[in-house]
């Protein structure tokens, strides 16, 4: 089989939390050798846990997003068992080194010397404090690409602002553009598309810089500010403002012109407890409306003049929502999907994190991949981002454990001797456990 597209590219990966780790996973999936540079002497919150050694009681009460440890059990090495980290850990290598100590910085520089790209997404001042700058990296490796992915940028009034993806979601305007039409924003929304987009954007930007290097022989500094990366996603709202002065607000699950909604359906009746069975459907055209009416069994009310064209349907949206839901409540989500799709109407159930595993389409395409992780066991994991016909992407290596590849990286990649390796081990650079006093 042909080599993966990015075979031969090596990335020194200093990223944490979600955005950078996700972006580097995409490059790892494509075949780059992504080496996570971690430390056993310092715990970065939100990367391999909120804290390194959470007590069982804390994990038990946390929402699954944060408390997703295998079996809700921290185990001896909780940092290898957290779904949050393990969702971006595949296909990567992990080495440990304490870059705050001079000999640790020398190890890092040795890695830079044999790498193509260095990536970081810490607060702006963290890298400055460590002394990692583009100039320093360039002195070590002339054509290095240095990718920085701060929230707002490494310069400008907010360069030092502390923000998570969820904060950027607010301050780029997304959370004033979505949500329920009839509730105040204090009701809150989840979703941090900003982090996701920052990751894939950084992957793209690294590739663009690599392309430039392959043509010119030059590396460069690349800055992917998470806020600037995601703003084009709101192009309609932004252009509506710059062209017309309109300030768009939330329209809930409706569509600006079509008939669209999320309706309760048969199955799980816990609609008001955060669960429940739901179906989405959209009717844009007269043909789709006719399809919906057929699927519903031609109820007499559907012949009313006030539902006869798209404009009047949009005008009577509230009434239609009630009538459509009377029908959807009689069927389960998948049955509704098949009935409606047969009549040419876009519709599908809303699938929870549990339900997606049983989806027939995902199964048919073999999207989930079964992976055995030495400290977590065997499970199906979310698959890759696309199907490549000649160099298929896959999960070649389970989510990486802290320091798992120290021996390979120190000896094979960096060329340290066995004696030197043992010395780094003795000095606490090399290990698979956080220092015992780190909580």
Residues 118-177 that bind other proteins (CB under 8 A): 152-153, 155-158, 160-164, 166-177
The interface region with other proteins, picked from 106-114, 309-317, 372-380, 424-432 by CB under 8 A, is: 372-380
Q: Are 119 and 12 in contact (CB under 8 A)?
A: yes
Asked if residue 421 binds other proteins (CB under 8 A), the reply is: no
Figure out which of the listed residues 312, 352, 412, 417 binds other proteins, where binding follows CB under 8 A: 352
Q: Does 234 bind other proteins (CB under 8 A)?
A: yes
**Rounded CA gap, 415 and 23, in Å?**
28
Over its C-alpha atoms, the chain yields an Rg (Å, rounded) of 25
- Candidates 306-314, 383-391, 409-417, 431-439 — which segment interacts with other proteins by CB under 8 A? 383-391
Closest CB to other proteins among residues 140, 284: 284
Q: Which residue has the tokens 């590849």?
A: 405
Q: What is the smallest separation between the CB atom of 323 and other proteins, expressed in angstroms?
A: 16
What's the distance, CA 143 to chain centroid? 29
Spatial distance between the Cα atoms of 23 and 126, rounded to a whole number of angstroms = 20
Residue with smaller CB distance to other proteins, 241 or 421: 241
> How far apart, in whole angstroms, are the C-alpha atoms of residue 127 and residue 154?
11
Binding pattern for the stretch 186-215 against other proteins, x by CB under 8 A and - elsewhere: xxxxxxxx-xxx-xxxxxxx-xxxxxx-xx
Counting contacts by CB under 8 A, is residue 76 touching other proteins? Answer: no
Q: Do 3 and 59 form a contact (C-beta atoms < 8 A)?
A: no
Q: CA-based angle 378:381:384, to the nearest 5?
A: 140
CB 196 within 8 A of CB 203: no
In three-state secondary structure terms, 412 is: helix
- State the nearest-atom distance from the C-beta of 101 to other proteins, in Å: 25
Q: Based on CB atoms, which residue is closest to other proteins, 351 or 427? A: 351
CB of 256 to other proteins, least distance (A): 7
Q: Which stretch binds other proteins (CB under 8 A): 106-114, 135-143, 183-191, 292-300?
A: 183-191
Interface residues for other proteins in 16-35 (CB under 8 A)? 18-19, 22, 26-27, 30-31
Task: Name residues whose C-beta falls within 8 Å of residue 188's C-beta, 6 or more positions apart in sequence.
Answer: none
Single out the residue of 105, 136, 138, 367 in contact with other proteins (rule: CB under 8 A).
367
Tell me if 42 contacts other proteins by CB under 8 A. Answer: no
Q: Least distance (Å) from other proteins to the CB of residue 103?
A: 30
- Using CB under 8 A as the binding rule, the residues of this chain from 260 to 319 that contact other proteins are 260-264, 271-275, 278, 280-282, 284
Q: Which two tokens stand for residue 377?
A: 């066991």
Whole-number Å distance between alpha carbons of 159 and 70? 37
Residues within window 94-123 making contact with other proteins, judged by CB under 8 A: none
Query: Minimal distance in Å, beta carbon 17 to other proteins?
Result: 10
223 binds other proteins (CB under 8 A): yes
Which member of 10, 138, 317, 391 binds other proteins (CB under 8 A)?
391
CA dihedral 14, 106, 398, 196 (to 10 degrees): 10
Total number of residues binding other proteins (CB under 8 A)? 176
Q: Is the dihedral of CA 342, 346, 350, 354 positive or negative?
A: positive
231 lies in the binding site for other proteins (CB under 8 A): yes
Q: Which two tokens stand for residue 344?
A: 């040419």
**Closer residue to other proteins, CB minimum distance, 190 or 426:** 190
Give me the least distance between CB of 329 and other proteins, in Å please: 13
Q: CB of 104 within 8 A of CB of 98? A: yes
> Which of 136, 290, 350, 395 contacts other proteins by CB under 8 A?
350
Compute φ and ψ for 125, nearest 5 degrees.
Answer: -80, -15
Whichever of 176 and 433 has its CB closer to other proteins, that residue is 176
Query: Which residue among 77, 266, 317, 379 contacts other proteins (CB under 8 A)?
Result: 379
Q: Does 335 bind other proteins (CB under 8 A)?
A: no
Alpha-carbon distance of 418 to 97, in angstroms, equals: 16
Q: Which of 42, 180, 301, 408 binds other proteins (CB under 8 A)?
A: 180
Do 151 and 161 form a contact (C-beta atoms < 8 A)?
A: yes
Rounded to whole angstroms, how far apart are CA atoms 415 and 183? 61
Strand-pair partners of 365: none
What does the block give as tokens for 214? 């392959």
Is residue 127 helix, strand or coil?
Answer: helix
Binding mask 56-75 for other proteins (x = CB under 8 A): -xx--xxxxx--xxxxx---
Residue among 105 and 251 whose Cβ is closer to other proteins: 251
């Amino acid at each position: 089989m042909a080599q993966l597209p990015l075979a031969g590219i090596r990335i020194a990966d200093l990223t944490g939390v979600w955005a950078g780790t996700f972006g580097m996973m995409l490059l790892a999936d494509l075949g780059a050798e992504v080496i996570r540079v971690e430390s056993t002497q310092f715990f970065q919150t939100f990367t391999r846990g909120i804290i390194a050694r959470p007590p069982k009681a804390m994990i038990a009460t946390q929402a699954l997003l944060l408390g997703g440890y295998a079996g809700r059990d921290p185990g001896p090495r909780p940092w290898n068992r957290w779904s949050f980290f393990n969702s971006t850990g595949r296909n990567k290598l992990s080495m440990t080194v304490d870059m705050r100590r001079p000999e640790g910085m020398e190890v890092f520089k040795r890695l830079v010397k044999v790498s193509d790209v260095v990536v970081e997404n810490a607060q702006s001042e963290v890298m400055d404090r460590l002394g990692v700058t583009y100039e320093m990296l360039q002195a070590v490796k002339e054509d290095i690409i240095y990718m920085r992915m701060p929230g707002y940028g490494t310069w400008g009034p907010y360069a030092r602002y502390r923000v998570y993806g969820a904060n950027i979601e607010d301050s780029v305007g997304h959370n004033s553009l979505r949500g329920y039409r009839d509730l105040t924003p204090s009701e809150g929304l989840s979703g941090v598309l900003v982090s996701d987009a920052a990751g894939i954007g950084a992957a793209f930007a690294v590739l663009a810089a690599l392309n430039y290097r392959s043509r010119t022989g030059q590396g460069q500094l690349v800055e992917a500010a998470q806020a600037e990366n995601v703003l084009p996603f709101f192009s309609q709202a932004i252009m509506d403002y710059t062209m017309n002065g309109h300030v768009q607000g939330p329209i809930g699950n409706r569509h600006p012109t079509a008939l669209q909604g999320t309706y309760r359906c048969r199955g799980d009746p816990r609609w008001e407890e955060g669960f429940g069975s739901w179906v989405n459907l959209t009717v844009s055209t007269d043909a789709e409306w006719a399809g919906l009416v057929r699927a519903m069994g031609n109820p007499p009310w559907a012949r009313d003049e006030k539902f006869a064209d798209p404009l009047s349907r949009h005008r009577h949206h509230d009434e239609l929502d009630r009538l459509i839901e009377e029908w959807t409540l009689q069927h389960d989500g998948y049955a509704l999907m098949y009935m409606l799709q047969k009549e040419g109407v876009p519709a599908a159930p809303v699938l929870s994190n549990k339900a997606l595993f049983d989806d027939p389409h995902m199964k048919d395409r073999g999207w989930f991949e079964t992976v055995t992780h030495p400290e977590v066991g065997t499970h199906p994991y979310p698959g890759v981002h696309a199907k490549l016909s000649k160099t298929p992407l896959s999960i070649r290596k389970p989510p990486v454990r802290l320091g798992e590849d120290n021996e390979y990286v120190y000896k094979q990649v960096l060329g340290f001797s066995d004696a030197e390796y043992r010395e780094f081990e003795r000095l606490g650079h090399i290990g698979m456990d956080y220092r015992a006093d780190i909580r």
